[in-house]
Amino acid sequence: MDHPPDASLLAGIAGALRLLLQPGDFDASMQGALAEIGRAARVDRVYIFECNTPEGGAMVWSQKYEWTADGIEPQIDNPALQNMCFAEICPRWQAELETGLPVVGVVAELDEAERILLEPQGILSIAAVPIRSGGILAGMVGFDDCREAGNWMPQTIQLLEAAAGGFGGAMARKVADDALREAHAILQIQAEELREHRRVATSLIEEARQAEQRAAAASEAKSTFLAVMSHEMRTPLNGIIGFTDLILSESPPDPIASHAAAIQSSGRILLGLINEVLDFSRIESGNVELEPVVADIREAASSALAGLRRAAERKGLVVELIVEDSVPHQLRLDVTRYQQILLNLVGNAVKFTDRGAVCVLIAVTRLDSDTVTLHTAVSDDGIGIEPDALERIFEPFGQADVSVHRRYGGTGLGLAISRNLCRLMGGDITAASRPGRGSTFTFRLAAGICSADTAIVALPGRVIPALAAEYPLNILIVDDVPTNRQLLCRLLEKMGYSPAVATHGEEALELTAARAFDLVLMDILMPGIDGRETTQRLRQREAGKGRWLRIIGLSADATPENARRCLDSGMDGFLTKPIQIDDLAAAIRRSHAEINGVELRRTGAAG
Ligand code: ADP
């Protein structure tokens, strides 16, 4: 049957295009459009081939959609119509379609190669029109006569080319839709991944927060435990060390003297241990505040060494201190901490050396216009340290080996504390050693240079000074623990004072109301109103009266926070138990000077 370009063909193409423009199921639209156009063109079969060019290969063609009239055998499942290479089997088709031309004709009149391809499908006449999509060849739409070979008029072919344009547009839309769907799917996967990452991150943050809370709680518990333990242990030690001090100051006969000395030395070792553990944990938790003061480094070093000289002499060791001339006489640094590091290193040097010398060398290098680096080297001729232990000894509880601990004792905390302190003061500490020959520990820290007129910190020695004649004061002791009261009383009596005592805060308030005192030594932890509360009440009572009672707090809680709280409550000073004679004497002298300063100022103001 011929194929005229009549109105029914036009209506069919229009119907097909309408279907192709419909949103929704693309395959169903294609299928519907092929049927519509097939019927209108009065053909037996209409189909679409898609073409693509695999990388590095020739273009291949595959049948994708097909409509057949009733009674015509479909070819959609024909494997021969998949991945066909027209360039090989019928090159004319490839060339025509590629240049945009249709392939039209009666099969019996075609080349043999083309007939071999078309006859097995029962095709008598064919029109194949190229489909272009997005400007490139995307496939073709084919129209077959299988019952009777019809003629194709040029106008009919033109209409079919217009229909092919519709198929091309639909295929381009499909490609865009697929890309969009794929992008959407990828986006959804990424969004889900993002949600998952966010879930993981949130739960990690939550875990970290909980871990931080647990760590903070543990650290808090540790600090409280240490503060309480240190307080509980220092209080009885106060009695032990203080009373042996008293006994020894009365020059008792032997063996009482030697027993008392032994008790005192054990007490001091125990106190040292408590201090070391407390110190270490305080530094570790970042609770150490440096207190830089202006000090003479020569005096500070020789006073630190003085305490160790006896132990060195007993072992026949020479202890030498060399301070280079270039070291300024006054430097600004936390001199107590400097002495602590030096004492620990020289103490170790003496401990681990049996013969020879211990030498301390102090030098400086300039850092900038107002800072120097202070270098201190402590060398000895002692047992030395194996190379593999050199780093370990700076770790907390790190000792060179078990035999060292068995023979020399010690906690293994000294170097860890020293290293932390050095780092805190902008420096560090290192060790070099030759086993059996000796060791050198070198530490450096930053120190400020200061002008010549700044006061130098005094470093007094330890004796019970008779102060009362030179520094007369009326002193009140307030403490609920009888041993502490007794000890302080005896110490002050030795200094020439006649202190009054109160056993609790209320009694202190009563006594101070009845009698004039110059200085109150106030225990902090007492039943009823504690030392701080008592101080606050005393200060309230004094308000506006112009009288200024000196109040020094006494506590076994050596933390800076405790000292600060005491000062905040209105105290003038703070001493840590066990009370050291030198500290007490210094507090008395200071109080006397301050009271007289006040008196002088008051007199001056009156005049
Ligand atoms: P302690 O001396 O209390 O054990 P330290 O932290 O001060 O703790 O020292 C740790 C270890 O380092 C010592 O146990 C010892 O093994 C080693 N050590 C420190 N100084 C010396 C030294 N001068 N000579 C030999 N070994 C030393």
Q: Could you report the per-residue pLDDT of 364-417, keeping only the tens digit for each?
A: 888 777 889 999 999 999 999 999 888 889 987 767 676 766 667 677 788 998
C-alpha to C-alpha distance for 192 and 202, rounded to whole angstroms: 15
Beta-carbon contacts of 212 under 8 Å, excluding residues fewer than 6 positions away, are: none
Out of 269, 283, 378, 393, give the residue to mutate to test ligand 1, the one with the largest number of ligand atoms within 8 Å of its CB.
393
In this structure, are residues 399 and 383 in contact, taking their beta carbons and an 8 Å threshold? no
Return the residue whose CA atom lies nearest to atom 3 of ligand 1.
410
Q: CA dihedral defined by 296, 297, 301, 306, rounded to 10 degrees?
A: -10
pTM for this model (two decimals):
0.45
**Secondary structure class of 367 (helix, strand, coil):** strand
Q: Is 350 in the pocket of ligand 1 (CB under 6 A)?
A: no
| Distance from Cα 337 to the centre of ligand 1, integer Å | 19
Return the residue whose CA atom lies nearest to atom 13 of ligand 1.
399
Q: Is 4 in the pocket of ligand 1 (CB under 6 A)?
A: no
| Atom of ligand 1 lying closest to residue 416 CA | 6
How is residue 101 annotated by DSSP?
Answer: -
The pair phi, psi for residue 48, each rounded to 5°, is -125, 130
**Secondary structure class of 547 (helix, strand, coil):** coil
How is residue 600 annotated by DSSP?
Answer: H
Return the residue whose CA atom lies nearest to atom 20 of ligand 1.
348
| Atom of ligand 1 lying closest to residue 417 CA | 6
DSSP string, 273-297: HHHHHHHHHHHHTT------EEE-H
| Distance from Cα 400 to the centre of ligand 1, integer Å | 7
Q: Is 349 in the pocket of ligand 1 (CB under 6 A)?
A: yes
Say what the pLDDT of residue 275 is.
Answer: 79
Q: Is 150 in the pocket of ligand 1 (CB under 6 A)?
A: no
| Distance from Cα 348 to the centre of ligand 1, integer Å | 6
**Secondary structure class of 111 (helix, strand, coil):** coil
| Atom of ligand 1 lying closest to residue 405 CA | 14
Q: Tokens standing for 379?
A: 């060398």
| Distance from Cα 570 to the centre of ligand 1, integer Å | 43
Instruction: Report the Cα 596 to chain-centroid distance in Å.
Output: 53
| Distance from Cα 386 to the centre of ligand 1, integer Å | 12
Closest CA to 49 of 39, 40, 59, 41: 59
| Atom of ligand 1 lying closest to residue 378 CA | 23
Q: Is 280 in the pocket of ligand 1 (CB under 6 A)?
A: no
| Distance from Cα 344 to the centre of ligand 1, integer Å | 9
Q: Is 584 in the pocket of ligand 1 (CB under 6 A)?
A: no
Q: Is 399 in the pocket of ligand 1 (CB under 6 A)?
A: yes
Q: Peptide bond before 255: cis, by omega within 30 degrees of 0?
A: yes
| Distance from Cα 393 to the centre of ligand 1, integer Å | 7
Out of 385, 388, 413, give the residue to mutate to test ligand 1, the one with the largest number of ligand atoms within 8 Å of its CB.
385
Say what the pLDDT of residue 248 is.
Answer: 87
| Atom of ligand 1 lying closest to residue 400 CA | 16
Q: CA dihedral defined by 50, 41, 77, 136, rounded to 10 degrees?
A: 0
- Helices vs strands, H then E, count in the chain: 16, 17
Tell me the one-letter amino acid at 93: W
Beta-carbon contacts of 324 under 8 Å, excluding residues fewer than 6 positions away, are: 361, 362, 363, 364
Closest CA to 549 of 457, 464, 474, 485: 474
Say what the pLDDT of residue 103 is.
Answer: 95
| Distance from Cα 381 to the centre of ligand 1, integer Å | 14
Q: Is 118 in the pocket of ligand 1 (CB under 6 A)?
A: no
| Distance from Cα 274 to the centre of ligand 1, integer Å | 18
Q: Average pLDDT, whole number, for the chain?
A: 87
Q: Is 415 in the pocket of ligand 1 (CB under 6 A)?
A: yes
Q: Is 377 in the pocket of ligand 1 (CB under 6 A)?
A: no
Return the residue whose CA atom lies nearest to atom 11 of ligand 1.
399
Say what the pLDDT of residue 476 is.
Answer: 96
pLDDT less than 70: residues of the chain: 398, 400, 402, 404-407, 409, 451-463, 547, 598-607
| Distance from Cα 399 to the centre of ligand 1, integer Å | 6
357-368/125-133 β-pairing: unpaired
Q: Is 348 in the pocket of ligand 1 (CB under 6 A)?
A: yes
Return the residue whose CA atom lies nearest to atom 8 of ligand 1.
412
